[in-house]
Structures are given as structure tokens and as C-alpha cells.
Structure 1
Amino acid sequence: MKAIIAAETKRAESLIEGFMGLPPETVDLATFNAAVLKQAPKEFVEAVEAIQRISEKAAPSQNDAAFAVNVVDLMAEYAQRPKMSPAIEPLWKAEQLVRESGLGWTLRHLLAVALSFGGLIAGASQDMSMNAQAYAYLALIFAVGSGALHLTHGRDPEVKVPLFVVGSLIGFCLLTAKFSAAVGFLALLAVSVIFMLSSLIGLMSGATNKSSTYEPQMPQQVEYNPYVITEGNEMSEPMRQLK
């Protein structure tokens, strides 16, 4: 069991080095302080601390070895997740929930398109009522927010999300001031349609990474109990005969 845990410890050290961008053979799990993983998901940190506890055992059991394998597999899952700032991570998790809801992902884009189209119609009127203005603000917020969530699962969300939000709001205001609210919503409608089409293409082609729709969970470690009768051990047949 010690050999298995030693191998998993080395694999954990390699994952930590890759996550932190360190050269190989620079992390020693026995002396590593998991508190330095400030931008890592809390589950990744918990997995590091768990494998540290297992590796310190003098006489690990078979259950300890299996637990070590599962914990390092968990670390590998989280190491593949894009690193992001605390400001972007809640948006990433919100988009993750939407994508895990199945059709909710596409329906969200359809709603953004419908609201943008409604804003186009409302903006084309000469005199917008208070209700129409409230609807326009709601449509603007939803469409921009939907696009921002969509971009969190693309490349460079740290850059693209704030650029999109700021650029969309400034662009909408400039178009509205120079032309009309209808023109601003027309541009917003075009962007919403593009995001919806990219979403549909991703669903149809199956390009969505399965690991991005799976939220790994910390495995539970169950202590070995020699007094528990399990199927296949030397006591199972006598126990059946007693029934």
C-alpha cells in the first residue's frame, strides 16, 4: 500500500507544480503548505490536504490507497479547470449551472434574443413610456449579462468578460445617443444571435467538454471495519445458511 500511496503522492506533486506553473521536482508534499493555493478551488486545496494526511500514515490500509487514488483523480479534474479571479469565478459557476440544466442553456440565449428584439421595437417608438424604459433597461441588463456568462467558458475569460461588459454598455450608450435606442438594441440583438448560434453549434457538434459539465466531489473515506460482513468474504456463505 505504501508504494501505491507514494506513486499517488508524486502524481499530486506534479499536479500542484503544473497548477502553480513551477518546474518539475520543486514541490515536496510532506512540507508543502496548501495555504499558498489562494486562487485554487477549495476542493483542490482540500484534496491536497487529504493526500498529505494519507501519505503521513505509517501503516496505510487498502482503503487508504484507494482513497489516495480517488483524491488525486479529483485534483486532476480541478487542475484542468481554468484559473480565474474571485470576480469571474461566481459567473463561471452560474454559467456551469445553466449548462448543466440542459435546454436551459439554449433557452437563456433565446430569451436574450427575444428581449433584445423587444427593445428594438420599444426603442423605435418616438415617445417611450416609463414602462417601455423599464423594459429597455431590463433587456439591456439581461442581454449583456447573458453574453458575459457565455464568455466565462471560453478562452481568456479574465480579459473577454470585462471587455465585453464595458464595451457593450459604452457602445449601446454611444449608439443610442448618436442615433436611437433602436440602433443600440439592433447591435445588441446581433450579438445575442451570434452567442445563441455558437451555443447551438456547440450542442450539435458535441464540442462541449464533458469535464466542464461535471463537478467532481471529494470522495468519502470509510475506515475498514473487520466486523462488517460483506458479500464474497469467508463469512458470507455461513451467514446465508443461518437465514
Structure 2
Amino acid sequence: MTASEVVGDLPRRAVVERVVETRLPTRHGTFRAVGYLDRTGTEQVALVYGDVSPLGALTRVHSECLTGDVFGSTHCECGDQLAAALDRIVEEGSGVLVYVQGHEGRGIGLLAKLEAMRLQQDEGLDTVDANVAQGLPVDARDYHAAAGILTDLGIRSVRLLSNNPKKVEQLTRYGIRISEQVPLLVPPNPENLRYLRTKAERMAHLLPHLDQAFAGS
């Protein structure tokens, strides 16, 4: 099964191919895991919970983050957001989490992300300048595959769990209507407060809960 689309003047093409579907029990709840190959050959997965409506489905499009999601790094908020999104979907009774591989380090890759972290720790750069110092984009992520997965799942509009307006813009461009942008705010910690502040001030992420933390920093 493939998902195709026409976006603006982009040609119709296969965006993703559905390969496998299976039950996945987790500590958050039992999901249906749907595995895909995107047009670059990258493996992708969506976790589907409950009977998902095609309109207004609670949805998280989560960028791969090995350090945060797997190792529990406190440098970022990714692991906490992943857990919070899965819990929120289960509490809602239905929803989808699309886990996007190839997005490590906002699309620059694992090794470059580790170097960016070193530059932040050793040379005092922020998360934006640490990418630029390596000659890399601030954010190289593309959400075409994620939109293709949602389309394949029959979802036409979503309530998007995200603080990132650029994610909203890209998914909209690729044909997914955002009926609501739902904040996904997790408490900051001393290790990631500066990182989050940079995302708010330089990348336009919507993080109003940091105001109190800023006052005490």
C-alpha cells in the first residue's frame, strides 16, 4: 500500500509504503504499530491508539532523538515530550504518534548533534549557533513522510501536539489540516533551560511556561 499526494505544483508520487502492522504493548498502553518505508528507503513507524477519527485526531509527530528518547538525556526535552504525548493519547482514548527517523539533531544527524552539544557545553554556543558553526542548517527536518503516513492512515486533519509553528506550516503544506495546535509543555530543568530559551527566542517555539523559569534564571 502506498500513500500519494499532490501538493501545490509538486507531482503525484509515492510518499510512503506500508510494510507491516502489529500489536505493540507499551508501559503507556497497547498501540497498533504500523511500519513504513519512505521514498528515501528510511524506515518509519506510526503508533495508533484506539479508533482514530479522520478529523481532529490527536496527533504527535515526534522527531527521532536517540539521546533523549533512549538514553534519557536532560539536555533536551525530547524524551519527556515523547512520554507525555503517548500518555496524552491514551488518556484521550485515541490518537496517533508518528515517530520520524532521519530527524536526529533537527535533521543534521547523530554525530553532528553530539558535536553541537559539545560546542554548547565547551564553547558557550547556543543550539542555533552550534549548528551554524558546523556549516549546517539550523533545522533541516522535512515532514513529507509524516504527512504521507497520516494520509495513509486516513487522517485528514489533526489536533497537533507541538510547540513548533514550523511543523504546523510544513504539515499544512503537505496536505494535513491542523485544526488545533495543542501545547506539549514539560517542566524545564537546569540542563535544558538555556536550550529551551533559545528555541523560544530564536526559533519561535511556543513555550510560555518558561516565563517563570526565566525569572529565576
TM-score between both structures, scaled by the size of structure 1: 0.24
- Structure with the higher helix share, 1 or 2: 1
- Structure with the higher strand share, 1 or 2: 2
Q: Name which one, 1 or 2, has greater alpha-carbon Rg.
A: 1
